[in-house]
Amino acid sequence: MDATGVTEQPTSFERTQSGADPTDARGSLLGTPEPAQALPLQPRPADPSPCAPAAPGAQGEPPCPAGRAAAEHAQPAAAEPDPHRPRPVPEGIPAQPDAASRVAAGPTEAPGVPGAQDRRVPGASGAPGTSEPGVPERRDADGQERRSGRGLPAGRPLPMRRHGDRLRFVGAATRRIARGMDLDEIVLGLCRATVPTFSDAILVYLREPLPVGDDRPVGPLVLRLRRTDRIPAERDPEIGFTPAPAPEQPAELSQVTNELCEVEPGSALGEVLRGVRPVFTDAPHARSALGELLGPDSGLTVPDGQRTILAPLRGRRRVIGAALFLRLPERPAFEPDDLLVAAQLATHSALGIDKAVLYGREAYIADELQRTMLPETLPRPTGVRLASRYLPAAETARVGGDWYDAIPLPGSRVALVVGDVMGHSMTSAAIMGQLRTTAQTLAGLDLPPQEVLHHLDEQAQRLGTDRMATCLYAVYDPVSHRITIANAGHPPPLLLHVGGRAEVLRVPAGAPIGVGGVDFEAVELEAPAGATLLLYTDGLVESRLRDVWTGIEQLREKLQATARLTGPDHPPPLEALCDEVLDMLGPGDRDDDIALLAARFDGIAPSDVAYWVLEPEVSAPGRARRLARRALDRWGLEDLSDSVELLVSEVVTNAVRYASRPVTLRLLRTDVLRCEVGDDVPQLPRLRQARATDEGGRGLYLVNRLARRWGATRLSTGKVVWFELNRN
């Protein structure tokens, strides 16, 4: 009692417990147990006369306002009790011990202050580890308190203290697992979520191979060790109970040597996997299953007791793997409630893996569909070099309606096609595939570009009423150095000249394919040697941030800037040019698929072309042999004279036999020697085996044996039979 006659009381009414730390800073509350003594009541500041202390166990109204204030402090939310009715014991709080037990245990509550209860767990001053009255302490086998972590070595993670902690952990772990899109991300999320919060180490086994959807595995059940993770051995002693962050590349459990495990039917491991529920490995059958999983030669030491959980991973239809959670002896063992946590983690991981496998299969199908509908490799026609690029709209939409194509035509010509079907879905890809096949068929008939677009328009109308597409079809002739272009609502092409000037070609826009009843117009333009033609889809020049004409102007400026890097006399390489063009795309410019086709016009010089017209007479084969010999002598290819004369004689003889109009003969000298013979007969020749008694039928057999390549193409006016020979 101080000078004012008022006795100090602690601000929080503490109840001591056995086993408390005697060095705690809270002084007398944690001191040696003493018999409970009555505390004098505190008077109000305005009342000069203090009240007499109340007798212990007295009932009724407190004799002074200070007593009422103390009672209100002890029960702030309770109504004023009936003075003639005993106060009931609150639910969930055990009955108070008798006086003898209170004396033995130490002071528990102050007389005159009913209901005052201690709401802190002794151990560390101000420690956040809280407890509730009526909930007994949990201690492990070594006497260490599990909720507050007292007695654990420095650097070990705090154990989960109550059911709320488990629920919060499961929620955070499942969210982390659900963020994964592919198989590796989901397995990594499981490892990162459980180590070190739930376990000290984890091993994840997955089925090899993983079943997809409703596929039924035909082979035995084989588990492969997919990933391991553990707490690093190096710990910072100053971090207390907070676990150190996991490294970027987690340390592997080097003791595990059995990466493949074949599950035998009826074995202990098979029974555990069939049971689906996680189990502790201290049971005999679970211990046998663990030995089968790790293998007989494994050096991994499994702690005794409930320190290892084996959790099967079950997808929608079947078991797809297993997860092994381990805790070291320095850490409290697992509790029965931890089996529920392991079950939740295993269920969410297995379902995520199942969906990731299905998503991977769908992505594979989409990639294969898009790859097969686009050219696998571009042809190498005479007089032109080609390069292409294709970019999907996004990683989640890998298929679309954009396509490009390069089709060799008779006479060393080549057709360049680029198109765009509305949308970027499987339906758009299917329509694109049909239109591309139709364009290849029409190009084989050697129809003019405007006729090809007209037939594509009819095909789109047959596919459906809302099948719309844009297309640009161009035919390049390397001999005449001319290009013929027809457009169906597609962005205009750009031509990059040798000097570095880029221009937008003036091509009639036309209506999109699928509108119907629209005539298409073709224009013929110069295609000088060394120039580059760029065909593209609108995804390259149009986005939410810019309109199509602004994008076309930016593309033209990009081409000129790229050409200046190589100088006015050397055009930029095609592959590098395509990469530079795609670099103009900004972060928000990928709203649609992008198809890009670049063609470098090399052309064929007039001095490398020899052309004649032969009348369909009996003397035509002999004249063809003489003309071919003179051309080869002029080009310095005398070594090929015998072969060329023989093959030209055979092909011209077949043409003269059935033709009614003049026959054309053309020789082209490029990297190979190409010979083309044209007539007005549409029937294509077929290679067949002549009998011993036949007088003819051996001409194409000789061509097939001596020529590097040969073929026949039907034209609107007849056909062309051609063959090639190596110059060296």
Confidence category of residue 29, pLDDT binned at 50, 70, 90: very low
Q: Which helix (H) or strand (E) holds 358?
A: helix 336-373
Q: How far is Cα 303 from Cα 325, in angstroms, rounded to an integer?
A: 11
- In terms of domains, do 534 and 484 share one? yes
Q: What is the pLDDT of residues 145-158, one digit of tens each?
A: 444 445 555 545 55
8 Å CB contact between 401 and 420: yes
Q: Quick one: pLDDT band at residue 105, thresholds 50, 70, 90? A: very low
Band (pLDDT 50/70/90 cuts) for residue 684 is: confident
Mean pLDDT of the 604-624 span: 93
CA distance 148 to 144: 9
- Mean pLDDT check: name the lowest of 69-83, 353-367, 377-391, 579-593: 69-83
Q: Per residue in 170-190, pLDDT tens?
A: 888 889 888 888 888 999 999
Facing residues of 674 across strands? 668, 724
Pick from 572, 601, 630: which residue ends a domain? 601
Region 90-109 average pLDDT = 42
Asked whether the predicted pLDDT for residue 245 surpasses 50, the reply is no
Please give the share of the chain, as a percent, with pLDDT higher than 90: 35
Residue 330 falls inside a structural domain? yes
- Number of folded domains that form the chain: 3
Name the average pLDDT for the chain.
Answer: 76
Which residues are bridge partners to 656 per DSSP? none
- Does 209 sit behind a cis peptide bond, omega within 30 degrees of 0 on the bond before it? yes
pLDDT band at 678 (very low <50, low <70, confident <90, very high): very high
Residue 110 lies in a domain: no
Would 536 be classed as within a structural domain?
A: yes
Check residues 572 and 249 and name the one with the higher pLDDT. 572
| CATH, residue 594 | 3.60.40.10
Backbone angles phi, psi at 201, to 5 degrees: -155, 160
| CA torsion through residues 358, 359, 360, 363, sign | positive
> 3-class SS at 188?
helix
The pLDDT value given to residue 596: 95
What's the mean pLDDT in 111-122? 40
For position 329, which CATH number holds? 3.30.450.40
302 and 178 in one domain? yes
Q: Which of 342, 364, 386 is the last residue of a domain?
A: 364
Cα 468 from Cα 385, distance rounded (Å): 31
Q: Mean pLDDT across the stretch 510-522? A: 89
Q: Are residues 481 and 546 in the same domain?
A: yes
pLDDT digits (tens, 9 = 90+) for 270-293: 888 888 899 998 888 888 888 888
Q: Which residues contact 693 (CB under 8 A, 6 or more apart)?
A: none
The mean pLDDT of 206-216, rounded to a whole number, is: 78
Alpha-carbon distance values, 517 to 161, 386, 454, 469, 512 (Å): 77, 34, 9, 15, 11
Cis peptide leading into 621, omega within 30 of 0?
no
pLDDT in tens, 464-483: 777 899 999 999 999 999 99
Split at pLDDT 50, 70, 90, the class of 18 is very low
Confidence (pLDDT) at 181: 81
pLDDT at 353 over 60: yes
| Residue 492 forms part of a structural domain | yes
Nearest to residue 373, comparing CAs of 393, 390, 397, 395?
A: 390
Q: H/E element holding 27?
A: none
Residue 200 has pLDDT above 70, yes or no: yes
DSSP code string of 225-254? EEEEEE--S---GGGTTSPPPPPSSPPP-T
Predicted confidence band of residue 312 (pLDDT cuts 50, 70, 90):
very high
CA–CA gap between residue 663 and residue 677 (Å, rounded)? 7
State the pLDDT confidence band at 62, using cuts at 50, 70 and 90.
very low
Burial of 372 by CB count in 10 Å (0-12 exposed, 13-18 middle, 19+ buried)?
exposed
Q: Show the beta-strand stretches assigned E in 402-526.
A: 402-409, 413-421, 469-477, 482-488, 494-496, 502-504, 522-526
Amino acid 296: pLDDT: 72
pLDDT at residue 398 in the model: 66
DSSP-assigned letter for residue 424: S
| pLDDT at residue 587, rounded to an integer | 66
Asked if residue 697 and residue 557 are part of one domain, the reply reads no
Please list, in sequence order, all residues whose beta carbon lies within 8 angstroms of the beta carbon of residue 268, skipping any fewer than 6 positions away: 285, 286, 288, 289, 292
Q: Are residues 423 and 356 in the same domain?
A: no
* Range name among 447-456, 587-596, 639-648, 653-662 with the lowest pLDDT average: 587-596
The reported pLDDT for the residue numbered 258 is 66
pLDDT confidence bin for 214, thresholds 50/70/90: low
Question: Are 518 and 441 contained in the same domain?
Answer: yes
Q: In which domain, by residue range, is 587 found? A: 374-601
- H-run or E-run covering 12: none
Residues 6+ apart with CB under 8 A from 233: 251
> Is 68 contained in some domain?
no
Categorize the per-residue pLDDT at 694 as very low, low, confident or very high, splitting at 50, 70 and 90: low
- Mean pLDDT throughout 307-313? 91
- Res 56 pLDDT > 90: no
Regarding whether 395 and 348 lie in a shared domain, the answer is: no
Residues 551 and 507 grouped into a single domain: yes
In sequence order, the 6+-apart residues with CB closer than 8 A to the CB of 467 are 421, 431, 460, 461, 514
Q: Which of 639, 649, 700 is nearest to 673 (CA)?
A: 639
Q: Kindly indicate the confidence band of residue 15, based on its pLDDT and cuts at 50, 70 and 90.
A: very low
Q: Token pair of 381, please?
A: 């026609």
Q: Which of 404, 345, 715, 429 is nearest to 536 (CA)?
A: 404
pLDDT at 57 over 90: no
- Contact residues for 659 (Cβ-Cβ < 8 A; gap 6+): 616, 679, 680, 681, 718
Tell me how far apart the alpha carbons of residues 270 and 443 are, in angstroms, rounded to a whole number: 61
594 and 610 both lie in a single domain: no
> Are 351 and 382 contained in the same domain?
no
Give percent above pLDDT 70 in the chain: 70
Tell whether the model's pLDDT for residue 46 goes beyond 60. no
Q: Are residues 547 and 437 in the same domain?
A: yes
CATH of the domain at 681: 3.30.565.10
Residue 415: what residue type? A
> Residue 118 class from Cβ within 10 Å (0-12 exposed, 13-18 middle, 19+ buried)?
middle
Residues 6 or more apart in contact with residue 283 via CB below 8 angstroms: none
In a 13 Å sphere around the CA of 574, the CA atoms on its Cβ side amount to: 19
Mean pLDDT score, 266-271: 88
391, 399 contact by CB (below 8 A): no
Residue where a domain terminates, one of 333, 364, 395: 364
- The answer as to whether 636 is a domain residue is yes
Residue 450 and residue 487: Cα distance in Å, rounded? 8
Predicted confidence (pLDDT) per residue in 644-661, tens digit: 999 999 999 989 998 999
Question: Does residue 345 sit in the same domain as residue 462?
Answer: no
Say whether pLDDT at 394 is over 50. Answer: yes
